[in-house]
Amino acid sequence: MAGPLEGIKVVEMVGIGPAPFCGMMLADMGAEVIRIDQKRVDETKVRLSIPGEGDVLARGRRSLAIDLKNPGAIDVLLHLIGQADALIEGYRPGVMERLGLGPDVCMQRNERIVYGRMTGWGQTGPLASAAGHDINYIALSGALHPIGRPDTPPVPPLNYVGDFGGGAMLLAFGVVCALLESRRSGNGQVIDAAMTDGSALLAAMIYGMKAAGVWTNRRGTNLFDGGAHFYDTYVCADQKYISIGPIEARFYVLLLDLCGIDDPDFHPQLDVERWPALKQKLAIVFGLKTRAEWCSLLEGTDVCFAPVLDLDEAPMHPHNQARGTFVTIDGVVQPAPAPRFSRTPPVTPRPSARPGEHTESILADWGVDVAQIQTLKDTNTI
């Protein structure tokens, strides 16, 4: 497998959401990531109704299914961990320790192991052991409150901010940072990646703007939250949507010019008191044409414009097609690996594996002898 992380070996203790996304990112970049699935039904995955072929987050790696309660299972995993560069897990604090796979045990076996831990609340703090999901973590960090219209409760931004942006990507960044440091020091370390921390970090600029007095806690009245008439989405004549964002004065002037707007009320641009009325005026303007007509007029210009595409439309857009932003793997359209590398480009990921699909081949490839594999099968451990 090609990619900038080729040669890196990672053991992933399979969970849901952010930890698998981190594993996918590392595998996308060429790391050999082995998924450790458990030999039991994942209740949350069943509730989410994610069929095997649609489990995009499982792409790019082989799967080993093992019963962690059976004798010999922990010894096998410690054998794998002894050869790995990193381990990632997304369980509640203490679960890995109770399994006999905590950081201290793993580092006794492999002092260079980078041990990545993904949780919502973090490994410490009064909420550390409580259950939660993305919406709760971004609520606590302050990242959720600004999202939405002034007359509605905060709107959940799917699970992009906590699980993936503030969770998985933060863990992947931490793993790569620790791997770089480990090559200098020869020592591993534990990464405590919390979605509360990560989503707070994503809100760094907004916290800064509030400190500077240019952001308020009144949702839907600020520059980036839909308060500004020139930074929002609008419905078109065909009930489809467009987005505009000409923050810079010269781009704003161009928008007015191309839209044929000569109303003096649109100046000055940054008069906050005028924003609500100007939003109503722009809504009328954009409602006069279809989305396709606005695309023909504005797309590709400097007015900072794009159509709001749904999940079926986005992969078909000419820009996304030209860049290969999406790929089709086993009939499933999905985002391609990112970012791009000039010298070590990643290859198209392998399809998502069924749990346990590669159990015996993984064990053999990682040096477990034939007799031990047979014993694991005889005891129903694998």
Q: Does 47 score more than 70 pLDDT?
A: no
Where does 82-176 show beta strands of DSSP type E?
A: 86-89, 114-119
Which residues 6+ apart lie within 8 Å of 322 measured at CB?
none
Q: Which of 163, 197, 225, 232 is catalytic?
A: 163
| Domain assignments of the chain as residue spans, ordered by start | 9-202+326-378, 241-307
State the pLDDT confidence band at 54, using cuts at 50, 70 and 90.
confident
Residues 151, 219 contacting (CB under 8 angstroms): no
For 29-74, the DSSP string reads TT-EEEEEEESS--HHHHHHT--GGG-GGGTTSEEEEE-TTSTTHH
Residues 196, 140 contacting (CB under 8 angstroms): yes
State the pLDDT confidence band at 71, using cuts at 50, 70 and 90.
confident
Distance CA 7, CA 2 (A): 9
Closest CA to 229 of 282, 153, 156: 282
Report the pLDDT value the prediction gives residue 43, as an integer from 0 to 100.
Answer: 47
Q: Does 41 score more than 60 pLDDT?
A: no
Distance CA 109, CA 86 (A): 13
Please indicate whether residue 133 is annotated as part of the active site: yes
Say what angle helices 195-202 and 169-185 make with each other, to 10 degrees.
100
Report the pLDDT value the prediction gives residue 42, as an integer from 0 to 100.
Answer: 52
Q: Does 50 score more than 90 pLDDT?
A: no
Full-model pTM: 0.94
**pLDDT tens digit sequence for 260-307:** 999 999 999 999 999 999 999 999 999 999 999 999 999 999 999 999
Angle at 292 between CA 287 and CA 294, to 5 degrees: 55
**pLDDT tens digit sequence for 83-141:** 999 999 999 999 999 999 999 999 999 999 999 999 999 999 999 999 999 999 999 99
Residues 246, 255 contacting (CB under 8 angstroms): yes
Report the pLDDT value the prediction gives residue 17, as an integer from 0 to 100.
Answer: 83
Q: Does 318 score more than 60 pLDDT?
A: yes
Q: Which of 79, 133, 145, 317 is catalytic?
A: 133
Residues 125, 200 contacting (CB under 8 angstroms): no
Angle at 203 between CA 144 and CA 148, to 5 degrees: 35
What is the DSSP-derived secondary structure letter of residue 162? I
Which residues 6+ apart lie within 8 Å of 63 measured at CB?
14, 34, 35, 37, 353, 354, 355, 356, 357, 358, 359
- Which comes out higher in pLDDT, residue 179 or 69? 179
Closest CA to 1 of 299, 249, 344, 254: 344
Residues 54, 332 contacting (CB under 8 angstroms): yes
Residues 377, 64 contacting (CB under 8 angstroms): no
Residues 145, 139 contacting (CB under 8 angstroms): yes
Residues 257, 303 contacting (CB under 8 angstroms): no
Residue for token pair 């698998």: 20
Helices (H) and strands (E) in the chain, counts: 15, 11
> Does the domain spanning 9-202+326-378 belong to CATH 3.40.50.10540?
yes
| CATH numeric code, 241-307 | 3.30.1540.10
